[in-house]
Structure 1
Amino acid sequence: MTTTPETTHELTIRTDDGADLAVTVLAPLPGTPSSGDVVLVHGWAHARRAWGTVADRLIRAGHRVVLYDQRGHGASTEGRTPVSVERLGSDLAAVLAETGAREAVVVGHSGGGFAALSYAATSPSAGRLRGLVLLGTAAHGQDTPDSEVKMMGSPVFSRALRRPWLGRKLLGSTMAKGVDPIILDVNRQMFAATLPRVRADFFRCTRGWDLREALASVTIPAVVLHGEADKVIDIALAETLAGVLPGARFERVPDAGHMLPLERPHLAVSAVSELTSLASR
């Protein structure tokens, strides 16, 4: 990411249950017209670095960008309370408040989308958002099987992830065919760096979770993007999500899998631009 020390600010936000969230704030590049704030929320077993290309393009377009490691991921700690989607929505609320980004466009990928949707459905201040960009995510139907949760928490799986060739192969179904091997390995590295216990707890926490009814009253403009080759979250669930959000537009992404921030970063940037234009009318 081509930034200078003057345009990058690192901070730690302490949540009400004692989690320390590692946050990066990037100023727009000098000379670019101000285009508003964007907050990027990564998916499970990822980290802030998943947004590298997206963030770089956004600051070049004049946005101030806030990105953070979700609790237990990257440089963030876990906190005292058990992980839940509601807890992650509260974490996002803390990040928005402490960084002064209450009127941002929030971009959430996969589990980051769950956090964004939880915030939008429950927080009194959510109506101030300029929009939501939801990548490879859903509002229900995330009852992860015991076998998958067990695998995520397995030390054997973790050791396999640390072996580049094997790790890329194990995670191959998370992306479409033909993805650059460098991108495949970035994905592998983030999975491998996430503690097995954290992976298992996060994948377990959405059992029975369903926000569809609550989202029916959320009128924030939204763009829902989903890869046609996504094998992690069924595209039908994303279509349902777009159907229950009154202000949402749905777009299928051909030849793309689940990891849209890595596979199709330009689409996230275009969606932010679309929502920013709507908000400025």
Structure 2
Amino acid sequence: MTSAVQHRVRTQDGITLAADCYDHDDARPVVLLLHGGGQNRHAWSASARRLHACGYTVVAYDTRGHGDSDWDPAGRYDLERLATDLLAVREHFSADIAPAVVGASLGGMTVLGTHLLTSGASWAAVVLVDVTPRLEFQGARRVVTFMAAHPDGFGTLDDAAEVIAAYNPHRSRPANVDGLRKVLRQRHDGRWIWRWDPAFIHSNFDFLRDESTTGTEQFDAISHLLIDGARRVNAPTLLVRGLLSDVVSQATVDEFKQLVPHAETVDVSGTGHMIAGDDNDAFSSAVTEFLGRSFL
């Protein structure tokens, strides 16, 4: 298949985002892929290849503060800024024709956030991956607690692999840990740290580790924003849920379907919050089948 070509996208406030584009051909419909918090564009490698083989131009980019994209010097990672970044990426790759957009976790929240901007958002199709406007508080807390742990990194890649395996007990620990180099970088002292800005958590999601009333109030405020965004989604929409996820539940799915009555849902058994990594074949099949109908 065509190798990905790396692009640099400049945001409105001067942040440079790293993006991989598979086959930028005007004759192909465009699909934008947004990763979850703490991940980067490489999380989509298998899905991007599958989508490209099905005839799409595929773009996966690193959210600000993640992967090879710039860290925001002022620690600005609010929903409005992330949504504005997404529209900058859209303008760069598909200014004239509405692309489809696939957002996992934080990426899905960002997609919903684009509908709150004054400029609005127009998508050919929307795919949300294990994210709903209202999430399960304890599941979201577990994600943030994991991300905030080990601020000083890991002594070896094997040490990191053990921690990740404990966090995802349903997923087999890989025999070869070299793939972790895509989510970790080696510091000058030899320790391995995550490829994302710690300020991303501290500025946006520290409240999730707060068991006081204040924490739940902030959580509810974000939920209400996303609910407002969901009500404005009018493109063909698919919600993909991991049945082992503790972040999205049947109750949050039911609420989402009331907000977006035209949305379709697919449950993927044996997968948790990171569906594409747990069972990429099942995930990619669901997405390609949906997009094939949506682009007709």
Q: Which of 199, 222, 234 is matched with 1:209 structurally? A: 222
1:47-82 CA distance string (max 9 Å, x none):
010001001111111110111100000111133462
Deviating more after overlay: 98-107 vs 40-49: 98-107
1:89 aligns with 2:104: no
- Cα 1:3–1:137, aligned 2, differ >3 Å: closer, same or farther? same
8 Å contact kept, 1:175–1:259:
no
Q: 1:62 aligns with which of 32, 47, 55?
A: 55
Aligned to 2:244, the other structure's residue is in SS state coil
Listed as ranges, the gaps of 5+ residues in structure 2 are: 185-193, 208-217
Taking the aligned partners of 2:228 and 2:200, their CA distance within structure 1 comes to: 29
Q: Is the 8 A contact 2:136 2:252 kept in 1?
A: no
Query: 2:196 is matched with which residue?
Result: 194
Paired residue for 1:225? 240
- Residue pairs, 1:100-139, within 5 angstroms: 100=94, 102-122=97-117, 124-127=119-122, 129-139=123-133
Q: Mark the CA change 1:202 to 1:9 in structure 2 (over 3 Å): closer, same or farther.
A: farther
Q: What is the letter of the counterpart of residue 94 of structure 2? A: G
> Residue 278 of structure 1: CA displacement?
3.0
Aligned length: 271
Q: Distance in 2 between matches of 1:146 and 1:257?
A: 15
**Structure 2 match to 1:15:** 11
Letter in 1 for 2:109: F
* Alpha-carbon distance in structure 1 between the residues aligned to 2:182 and 2:162: 13
Q: C-alpha deviations, 1:25-49, integer Å up to 9, x for none?
A: 11179xxxx5511100000110010
Q: Give SS of 2:49's match.
A: helix
- Could you tell me how far apart the structure 2 residues matched to 1:181 and 1:124 are? 44
CA shift at 1:166, angstroms? 3.6
The farther-off stretch of 230-239 and 71-80 is 230-239
1:151 Cα offset (Å): 6.3
Q: CA deviation at 1:204?
A: 3.9
Percent identity between the aligned chains? 25
Letter in 1 for 2:222: W
TM-score by length of 2: 0.77
Q: Offset at 1:255?
A: 0.9
Partner Cα separation in structure 2 for residue 242 and residue 173 of structure 1: 33
Q: Is the 8 A contact 1:142 1:209 kept in 2?
A: no
Query: What does residue 164 of structure 2 align with?
Result: 171
What is the CA RMSD across the aligned residues, in angstroms? 3.2
Which residue of structure 2 aligns with residue 278 of structure 1?
293
The gaps in structure 1 that reach 5 residues or longer are none
Aligned 8 A contact 1:217 1:246 in 2: no
Matches within 5 A, 1:141-156: 141=135, 152-153=147-148, 156=150
Distance in 2 separating the partners of 1:59 and 1:214: 29
Secondary structure of the residue aligned to 1:168 is helix
Judging changes above 3 Å, is the alpha-carbon distance between structure 1 residues 233 and 179 closer, same or farther for their aligned structure 2 residues?
Answer: farther
SS in structure 1 at match of 2:19: strand
